[in-house]
Amino acid sequence: MSSLLVTYGCGVAGSVGVELAGMVDGCRTHRGCLPKVYTRPYFLCLRLLLALIAGILPVASGVTNNMVAIQLGGSAQAILLALQHRRTPPGGRESNSGPSGSRKSADKRARQPDEDSDDATTTGYG
């Protein structure tokens, strides 16, 4: 039980470390001032919740090495960002609930001609 708690704590620490590094980077890009987003209570609560959830990732993976647990905890934010900004595979259908926001914009993109072909009836053979 205590090893699971240590693994969980390492995952949380990894996630908090990534968040602190992002905060420092934000201060550097804003000329030494803390970005406004870090002063909002809901943002801080969501980031704390993310860090607590990130601790579950190494425990669920069955990691026994603490350094790997820290790395998995730190990668939780990158994993969520990748899921948030996922791309449609070539030839696949695009989700209407993605970052574009509305079905109207998805329909507009679907009506645009393909840049690779001059004519929709061209088969590419001879």
Tell me: the pLDDT tens digits for 2-29?
Answer: 799 999 999 999 999 999 998 898 888 8
Band the pLDDT of 94: cuts 50, 70, 90.
low
Question: What confidence score (pLDDT) does residue 121 get?
Answer: 45
Residue 19 in tokens: 């968040």
Query: How far, in Å, CA of 80 to CA of 74, rounded?
Result: 11
As a whole number of Å, the end-to-end CA separation of the chain is 69
> Do the beta carbons of residue 73 and residue 11 sit within 8 Å?
yes
Number of structural domains the chain divides into = 1
Domain membership of residue 125 (yes or no) is: no
> Do the beta carbons of residue 4 and residue 56 sit within 8 Å?
no
Domain membership of residue 21 (yes or no) is: yes
Q: Which domain holds residue 70?
A: 2-84
